[in-house]
């Protein structure tokens, strides 16, 4: 979700195989660099592999270009990587959030074969995406400050995952401003 010169990215913490919950502290949001985060919803093995491939590509980019990747560029990279597997895709939906030039917030999501969806306000992904769309649409306001943005995204996340049996077991929220990154764990309904 985009705020005033900041953004927040949040996920739930459940890892499950259909009805069995395997882990309640599973990390779905990965840091690429201080001002770029990617959340990967979907099949855990594909999310992990995709993240490892992205680290590979970004490290080489950093060494060659001597700078960090811009979020827009990174989104194109993710999209290209996903489309390479067009006929045998990764079962993963990424949510990308970062601060671009002049610390302007950038967010986007894409489907599992790389169709980018840019937005100015919020993007969602996962099994609870329909609830998330509804919650975000009603709770979002433009140009929220960091603390208010955190409250909004947390409420939207927790209320949506409560309507989904496959999501939940708390929340994980990263709030990113040009100067700092705050990581918080949310305690929701643990079921």
Partner 1 sequence: MSRRYDSRTTIFSPEGRLYQVEYAMEAIGNAGTAIGILSTDGVVLVGEKKVVSKLLETSTSVEKMYKIDDHVACAVAGIMSDANILINTARLQAQRYAYAYQEPMPVEQLVQSLCDTKQGYTQFGGLRPFGVSFLFAGWDKNYGFQLYMSDPSGNFSGWKAAAIGANNQAAQSILKQDYKDDITREEAVQLAIKVLSKTMDSTSLNSEKLELSEIFLSSGKVKFHVWSADKLNKLLVKSGLTQPAADA
Binding stretches for partner 1 (CB under 8 A): 52-53, 55-56, 59-60, 63-64, 66
Minimum CB distance to partner 1, residue 53 (Å): 7
Shortest Å distance, C-beta 123 to partner 1 = 28
- H or E stretch at 94: strand 92-99
* C-beta closer to partner 1: residue 61 or 140: 61
Least CB distance to partner 1 at residue 142 (A): 38
Q: Between 2 and 82, name the residue whose CB sits nearer to partner 1.
A: 82
CA angle centred on 137, ends 12 and 119, rounded to 5°: 85
Question: Three-class SS of residue 8?
Answer: strand
CB 125 within 8 Å of CB 41: yes
Taking the least distance from each CB to partner 1, the nearer of 66 and 101 is 66
Please tell me whether residue 141 adopts helix, strand or coil conformation.
coil
Rounded Cα distance between 151 and 1, Å, is 11
**Nearest distance in Å: CB 33, partner 1:** 13
């Amino acid at each position: 979700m985009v705020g005033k010169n900041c953004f927040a990215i949040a996920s739930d913490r459940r890892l499950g195989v259909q009805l069995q919950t395997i882990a309640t502290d599973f990390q779905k949001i990965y840091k690429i660099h201080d001002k770029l985060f990617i959340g990967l919803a979907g099949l855990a093995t594909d999310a992990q592999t995709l993240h490892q491939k992205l680290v590979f590509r970004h490290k080489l980019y950093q060494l060659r270009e001597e700078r960090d990747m811009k979020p827009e560029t990174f989104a194109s990279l993710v999209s290209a990587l996903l489309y390479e597997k067009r006929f045998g895709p990764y079962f993963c939906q990424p949510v990308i959030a970062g601060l671009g030039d002049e610390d302007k917030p950038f967010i986007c999501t894409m489907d599992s074969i790389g169709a980018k969806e840019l937005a100015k306000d919020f993007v969602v992904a996962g099994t609870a995406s329909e609830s998330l769309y509804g919650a975000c649409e009603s709770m979002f306001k433009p140009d929220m400050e960091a603390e208010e943005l955190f409250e909004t995204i947390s409420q939207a996340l927790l209320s949506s995952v409560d309507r989904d049996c496959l999501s939940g077991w708390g929340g994980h929220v990263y709030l990113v401003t040009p100067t700092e990154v705050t990581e918080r764990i949310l305690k929701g309904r643990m079921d």
